[in-house]
Amino acid sequence: MWAHHYGDIVERFRRWAENDQDVRAALIVGSQARTDAPADEWSDLDVVILHTDPARLLEATDWFEPFGTPILSSVEPTAFDWSRERRVLYADGRDVDFSIFPTSATPLLVGSAEGLGVLRRGFVVLVDKDRQLDRLPAAVEIAGPESSGLPTPDQFHANFSDFFYHVLWVAKKLRRGEIWAAKFGCDGYLKRLLLRVIEWDALLAGSSAAEVWHEGRFLDRWATPEVRSHLPGTFARYEPDDIGRALRATGRLYSVLGRKVAVACGWDYPSRAEDEVWNLVDRTLGSESVPGA
């Protein structure tokens, strides 16, 4: 837990938060507050701050300097479209993500899948001047699993269409010799779409309450053995031939899992559309490369 790796930073932060009237509440979330897959020596510290003027903390850099010796800091988006976080790396290698929300954000945090997905895995209240965090334990108690569950027909077909559209897109990049773009498409964009099908497959293999994690966290723990055995072959070296091989392996795994999901949900799998895409891929990659951008 945080007391071992981040105890001094937490105590300095707590004193600062208690003395700053604009900080109304603060809590630790993430690995430092979890008992399931808890923090280790490589984990960061995630702190949520409810503040009367979030823009001031996002723009200023002096307020987090007393917690350690900062060497890097940046502002990045959070999982919520309407908020941002300030990330700070300290000289001893410890890093802290300060997610900064307005004081009115508590209902939004406990009323969203993203917020509950984080809170239900553990949180530690550091400061709560207005007792606005009293409702968190009850909200987390009734929260469901982090997964959004099995797809609707529209969600399934949207994912399928996006995936196979970009299978051909990657093939076209390879044909042009755009190796970077093809590699990124195969091992980046397509893998994010594949991840959704891996999640659905895990839910079918267990139950609707299967413990899948956001953005593939701990996938090697919750994905099925079949998926884990095939994943290594779906990633490519930075070489055209190997990207082509990995592209086909990624597509095969998607097809196997997608068919399982469709059958389990009572839907027809779009086999004809998939076959036509692979025909186009064969035509695209089966001849001499064409220069161009």
pLDDT in tens, 151-197: 999 999 999 999 999 999 999 999 999 999 999 999 999 999 999 99
How does residue 217 score in pLDDT terms, banded at 50, 70 and 90? confident
> What pLDDT is stored for residue 145 in this prediction?
53
CB atoms < 10 A from the CB of 254, how many?
A: 24
> What pLDDT is stored for residue 83 in this prediction?
83
CB atoms < 10 A from the CB of 261, how many?
A: 22
> What pLDDT is stored for residue 89 in this prediction?
97
Q: Say if residues 70 and 87 touch (Cβ distance below 8 Å).
A: no
Give the sheet arrangement for strand 45-51, strand by strand: 70-77, 84-90, 95-102, 45-51, 23-29, 123-128
**Averaging pLDDT over each range in 119-123, 142-146, 197-201, 218-222, which range is the top one?**
197-201
What's the pTM value of the predicted model, to 2 decimals?
A: 0.75
Give the bridge partners for 123, in sequence order.
29
Helix (H), strand (E) at residue 88: strand 84-90
Q: What CATH superfamily classification does 2-141 receive?
A: Beta Polymerase, domain 2 (3.30.460.10)
Q: Say if residues 18 and 125 touch (Cβ distance below 8 Å).
A: no
Distance set, CA 38 to CA 18, 43, 101, 203 (Å): 27, 9, 25, 23
Class for the domain spanning 153-285: mainly alpha
Q: Domain coordinates of the chain in residue numbers?
A: 2-141, 153-285
CB atoms < 10 A from the CB of 19, how many?
A: 8
> What pLDDT is stored for residue 218 in this prediction?
77
